[in-house]
Amino acid sequence: MALALILQSFARALGQVGDKRFLRVLLIGVALTLALLVGAYAGLLWLVEVFIGPEAYLPVLGEVRWLNDLLSGASLLFMLVLSIFLMVPVASAITSMFLDDVAQAVEAKHYAQLPPAKPVSFADGLRDTINFLGVLIGANMLALVLYLFFAPFALLIFWALNGFLLGREYFTLAASRRLGRAEAQKLRSRNWGTIWLAGVLMAAPLSLPLVNLFVPILGAATFTHLFHGIVSRQGPSG
């Protein structure tokens, strides 16, 4: 039943891609994601040249000339590989910034009978994003030990860990708009298995270059549907 609800939520999110209001948010999200990835990659090349020197050598790219390399064909391949590691924190940041816009578009189409939601304030959203990114980065750094000891299962560990963290964040953000933070956390605790599974299904495509560009916004829409699906079956108080 949980898997059916998750797949239904994702299908409904995917089915709204052609909606003008949703498409606008999706395109802005993809553009901003690309900008963040290019910016991070440019910064990496610049730091390598500054701290290691202009004669530094990187696999695939060869000798580092950060501005020239940024515009080279090899750069595209390198950035796509880098995106696998960067997309988890980027997904969190993009979702935090655009969740309210995505949720409004989803609710206007599918839940028009509901009263307006209370949007999360910019200060609260920024605080939560910074705190979550800290947890995300710290957890993944600690997980490096597991990746080394259980190398054949590294990808599964990556999906499980980041699926748990992303599901927790996505659902809390979606539910807080309607229930407030305290009630959202209670509802999340009662449905942690479903939310974790949905998070894993969002985290897995983040390891696929190009596909991962669309995941943050589609994930925000999916979790908006998932929240409403859970509430309709259980009620906000379970």
Q: Which of 15-19, 134-138, 148-152, 184-188 has the highest mean pLDDT?
A: 184-188
Question: 209: how many CB neighbours lie within 10 A of its CB?
Answer: 16
Closest CA to 5 of 197, 168, 159: 197
Question: Which of the four pLDDT bands, split at 50, 70 and 90, describes residue 89?
Answer: confident
Q: Is the pLDDT of residue 236 over 60?
A: yes
Q: What's residue 134's pLDDT?
A: 78
Closest CA to 161 of 128, 202, 191: 202
* Pairwise pLDDT comparison (4 vs 144), residue with the higher score: 4
pLDDT tens figures, 96-132:
778 888 899 999 999 999 998 877 776 776 777 777 7
The total domain count for the chain is 1
Its domain, for residue 104, covers 2-234
Q: What's residue 12's pLDDT?
A: 95
Question: Which of the four pLDDT bands, split at 50, 70 and 90, describes residue 237?
Answer: low
pLDDT tens figures, 135-184:
877 887 788 788 888 888 988 998 999 899 899 989 998 999 999 888 99
pLDDT tens figures, 202-224:
999 988 877 888 888 899 999 99
Q: Is the pLDDT of residue 77 over 90?
A: no
pLDDT tens figures, 221-234:
999 999 999 998 88
Q: Which two tokens stand for residue 34?
A: 């690309």
Tell me the CA distances in angstroms from 132 to 9, 37, 92, 137, one per residue in order: 24, 19, 8, 9
pTM: 0.81
pLDDT tens figures, 53-73:
555 454 544 555 544 555 455
CB-based burial of residue 31 (10 Å sphere; 0-12 exposed, 13-18 middle, 19+ buried)? exposed
CB-based burial of residue 16 (10 Å sphere; 0-12 exposed, 13-18 middle, 19+ buried)? buried
Span between the terminal Cα atoms of the chain, in Å: 16
Per the listing, tokens 């995941």 go with 215
pLDDT tens figures, 37-56:
777 777 766 765 666 555 54
Pairing mode of beta strands 57-58, 62-63: antiparallel
Tell me the CA distances in angstroms from 36 to 71, 86, 89, one per residue in order: 16, 9, 11
CA–CA separation, 60 and 141 (whole Å): 25
Residue pair 93/210 in contact (Cβ under 8 Å)? The answer is no
Q: What's residue 22's pLDDT?
A: 84
CA–CA separation, 137 and 143 (whole Å): 10
